[in-house]
């Protein structure tokens, strides 16, 4: 049982309700852009919706999941009550207040700047202050994770930190440093202009600072999913984790290589030198290493589970797997989508190939496939897996859960693969509408219709997900087996010092941020090329 279960439940429920609302916005956007519906009369309404959808899905939803999951991990893996419970509730309150403030600014039409801000667009200061509050809440969470780990270490000197907590804190540290870029952009560049203290803004510098956050945040979204791969799935399917040390190494490498790579989002930006673009492309490629380590370790763990269940032969063991088990199903879907999305990602990060798909619908397809698909489906698995321990009630709706996961997988594939194709054909992203009566575009209309269909499946799956979780609250209480994370095949009595702490990896992360970002930022500061802002609210 989780002592601070109400805290975790509050995070999860808030996250999932906001998620459902954002899902609804997303489907409305798809419908609006498709030939099934008349053009949107006021494109601002479309972009307002995109801003709300993006802000919730990119910031609020994953942050609340990571925070709630993090608190649960502290208790479940360290076997100690959460230190700083009041602080945690405070952080939750700050984050929710920030999310509501930002949502109000967006809903009133005063902050239609999309979640990536796009200076010189300037929205209402309430929007940015709301986002800052969400980040402040998450930083309190980061500190709590560090404090709880330190307390545990004091009582367990020299012992290996449990893998779940090691990975969790790696994610927290990654986020703490990742958020600095966007925080600098908001606090030093955007807010002074939004509040009227400054009259120009350097869009190039803002984009470089945002890129600092923009790609590493993706790995922050990914972290709970990866943690679930390692510490939930092998146990849930009746197997063991292939290697505890390999898992730690993957998380440590994510800390190092997830960070100094954001300039690959700026391949088309003239203010960054080509040398740095190349260096960032190389480091983006390095993320392949922890990703492939994970794929290998998890596949090996799954094979162990299959052989423990009596699987035989080179590939025959595949039939022995519990395919109806939600964790197995979720993992499979997640890996398929991760594979497709990862292959697309290799194109995005290649300096030359990117030019074919830069700013096209391909990119939208890519991140919906990776985040909306591979990552969010694992968020579902985390919720399903923790739910009995959070509600103290069983969650025995295996068939509905299976249906929900299938719907999500099919929905994502039906929505995002045609988007990739549309992007290759040159369809730009961030468009409120297309004129499909034009013969040059008519042949692409089906891709948008497919997105409407995929979106409908996703919406149905999202509703089903919330219904399944809600219904569990009304089940009678039942005795629970104590919760445990996956055990490794070889229990780690001791692990290398470097993989039991973070000092080295955090130092490397900061050092690489300096080598890869210091000169571009310094050059832009020196160039001082500010432009007048474009206000999106009544000044």
Partner 1 sequence: MTHAPPAKVGLLGVLTVILVAGGAFLLGFYGLPRAAGGGSVWQRLCRAAGIVSASADSERAAALPGLTTVVIPHDAMTTGTADQIGHGATLALRCTGCHGAQGESGADAPNLAGQYPEVIYKQLLDYQRGARVGAVMGAMAATLSAEDMLNLAHYYAYLPRLEHDHPLSSAPVLVRVGDPMRGIAPCASCHGSNDGKVGAPALDGEPKVYLEHQLTAFADGARHNDANAIMRGEARQMTAAEIALVTAHYASR
Binding site for partner 1 (CB under 8 A): 39-44, 196, 198-200, 245, 249, 252-253, 256, 271-279, 282-283, 286, 431, 433-435, 438, 440-441, 489-499, 504-505, 508, 512, 515, 519-520, 523, 532-536, 539
CB of 496 to partner 1, least distance (A): 4
Question: What are the structure tokens assigned to 50, written together?
Answer: 């995109």
Cα separation, 347 vs 341, in Å, equals: 10
**In the numeric block, which tokens belong to residue 455?**
């979106």
Nearer to partner 1, 75 or 202 (CB): 202
Question: Cβ(55)–Cβ(115) under 8 Å?
Answer: yes
CA 521, 361, 537, 63 dihedral sign is negative
- The answer to whether the CB of 220 falls within 8 A of the CB of 474 is no
Closer to partner 1 at the Cβ: 71 or 536?
Answer: 536
Minimum gap (Å) between residue 467 Cβ and partner 1: 38
**47/534 Cα distance (integer angstroms):** 15
Does residue 430 have an active-site annotation?
Answer: yes
| Residue from 468, 470, 463 nearest 19 by CA | 463
Whether 367 is a known active-site residue: answer yes
Return the biggest CA–CA distance within the chain.
71
Q: Is 368 a catalytic residue?
A: yes
Return phi, psi of residue 84, to 5°.
85, 40
Comparing CB distances to partner 1, the nearer of 147 and 285 is 285
Task: State yes or no: is 536 an active-site residue.
Answer: no
From 11, 53, 207, 215, active-site residue: 215
Q: Strand, coil or helix: what is 122? A: strand
**H/E run at residue 121:** strand 121-122
**Least distance from C-beta 245 to partner 1, angstroms?**
4
Q: Is 366 marked active-site? A: yes
Residue number, 63 or 427, with CB nearest to partner 1:
427
Strand, coil or helix: 328: helix
CB closer to partner 1 out of 212 and 434:
434
Q: How far is the CB of 256 from partner 1 (least distance, A)?
A: 6
Q: Choosing from 46, 333, 367, 409, which is the catalytic residue? A: 367
Distances 418 to 347, 433, 485, 497 between C-alpha atoms, Å: 17, 17, 38, 47
List 16, 368, 409, 434, catalytic entry: 368
**Of 63, 98, 72, which Cα lies nearest the Cα of 9?**
72
Closer residue to partner 1 (CB): 179 or 256: 256
Q: What does the alpha-carbon distance between residue 285 and residue 305 come to, in Å, rounded to a whole number?
A: 31
Catalytic residue among 307, 351, 429, 535: 429
d(CA 248, CA 256): 13
Is residue 289 within 8 Å of 342, Cβ to Cβ?
no
CA-atom Rg of the chain in angstroms: 23
Pair of tokens at residue 474: 């009304």
5 is catalytic: no
Among residues 12, 117, 219, 379, the one annotated as catalytic is 219
Contact 194, 200 (CB under 8 A): no
CA-CA distance, 190 to 167, in Å (whole number)? 33
Query: Which of 53, 248 has the CB closer to partner 1?
Result: 248
Closer residue to partner 1 in complex, CB, 104/508: 508
Helix H or strand E encompassing 534: strand 534-535
Q: How far is the CB of 435 from partner 1 (least distance, A)?
A: 6
Cα separations (Å) of 260 from 6, 108, 504, 506, 518?
37, 36, 16, 12, 11
* Closest separation in Å from C-beta 527 to partner 1: 9
Contacts of 8 (CB under 8 A, 6+ apart): 2, 68, 69, 71, 72, 386, 390
DSSP 239: -
Q: Is 219 a catalytic residue?
A: yes
DSSP code at position 498: G
* Cβ-based nearer residue to partner 1, 3 or 490: 490
Q: State in angstroms the smallest separation of the CB of 286 from partner 1.
A: 6
CA distance 110 to 50: 14
Q: How far is the CB of 166 from partner 1 (least distance, A)?
A: 13
Q: Measured from the CB atom, is 406 or 535 closer to partner 1?
A: 535
Sign, CA dihedral 202-205-210-215, equals positive
Nearest distance from residue 461's CB to partner 1, in Å? 33
How far is C-alpha 243 from the geometric centre of its chain's CA atoms? 25
CB of 488 to partner 1, least distance (A): 10
DSSP-assigned beta bridge partners for residue 535? 122
Region of residue 79 (phi > 0: left; psi between -120 and 50: alpha; otherwise: beta): left
Q: Kindly list the catalytic residues.
A: 215, 219, 366-368, 429-430
């Amino acid at each position: 049982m989780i002592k601070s279960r109400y805290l975790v439940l509050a995070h999860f429920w808030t996250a999932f309700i906001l998620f459902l609302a954002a899902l609804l916005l997303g489907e409305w956007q798809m419908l609006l852009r498709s030939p099934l519906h008349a053009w949107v009369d006021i494109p601002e309404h479309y972009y307002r919706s995109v801003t709300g959808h993006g802000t919730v899905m990119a910031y609020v939803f994953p942050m609340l999941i990571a925070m709630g999951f993090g608190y649960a991990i502290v208790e479940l893996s360290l076997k100690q009550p959460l230190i700083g419970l009041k602080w945690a509730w405070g952080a939750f309150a700050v984050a929710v207040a920030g999310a509501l403030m930002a949502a109000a600014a967006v809903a009133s039409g005063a902050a239609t700047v999309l979640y990536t801000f796009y200076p010189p667009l300037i929205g209402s200061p309430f929007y940015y202050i709301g986002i800052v509050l969400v980040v402040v809440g998450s930083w309190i969470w980061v500190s709590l994770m560090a404090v709880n780990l330190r307390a545990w270490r004091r009582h367990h000197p020299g012992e290996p930190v449990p893998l779940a907590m090691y990975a969790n804190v790696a994610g927290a540290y990654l986020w703490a440093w990742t958020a600095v870029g966007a925080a600098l952009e908001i606090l030093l560049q955007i807010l002074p202009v939004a509040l009227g203290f400054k009259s120009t803004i350097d869009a190039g510098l803002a984009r470089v600072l945002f890129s600092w956050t923009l790609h590493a945040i993706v790995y922050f979204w990914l972290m709970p999913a990866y943690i679930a791969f390692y510490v939930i799935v092998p146990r849930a399917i009746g197997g063991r984790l292939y290697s505890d040390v390999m898992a730690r190494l993957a998380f440590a490498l994510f800390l190092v290589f997830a960070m100094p790579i954001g300039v690959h989002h700026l391949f088309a930006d003239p203010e960054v030198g080509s040398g740095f673009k190349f260096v960032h492309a190389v480091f983006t490629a390095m993320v392949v290493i922890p990703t492939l380590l994970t794929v290998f370790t998890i596949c090996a763990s799954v094979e162990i589970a299959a052989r423990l269940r009596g699987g035989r032969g080179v590939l025959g063991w595949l039939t022995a797997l519990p395919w109806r088990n939600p964790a197995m199903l979720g993992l499979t879907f997640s890996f398929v989508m991760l594979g497709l999305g990862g292959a697309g990602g290799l194109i995005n990060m290649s300096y030359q190939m990117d030019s074919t798909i830069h700013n096209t619908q391909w990119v939208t397809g890519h991140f919906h496939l990776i985040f909306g698909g591979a990552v969010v489906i694992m968020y579902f698995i985390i919720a399903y897996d923790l739910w009995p321990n959070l509600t103290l009630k069983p969650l025995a709706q295996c068939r509905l859960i299976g249906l929900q996961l299938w719907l999500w997988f099919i929905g994502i594939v039906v929505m995002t693969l045609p988007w990739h194709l549309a992007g290759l054909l040159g369809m730009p992203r961030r468009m409120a509408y297309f004129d499909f009566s034009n013969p040059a575009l008519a042949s692409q209309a089906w891709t948008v219709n497919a997105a409407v269909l995929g979106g409908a499946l996703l919406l149905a799956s999202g509703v089903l997900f919330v219904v399944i979780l809600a219904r569990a609250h009304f089940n009678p209480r039942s005795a629970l087996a104590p919760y445990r994370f996956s055990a490794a095949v070889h229990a780690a009595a001791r692990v290398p010092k470097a993989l039991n702490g973070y000092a080295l990896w955090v130092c490397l992360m900061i050092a690489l941020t300096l080598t890869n970002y210091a000169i571009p930022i310094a050059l832009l500061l020196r160039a001082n090329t500010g432009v007048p802002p474009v206000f999106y609210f009544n000044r």
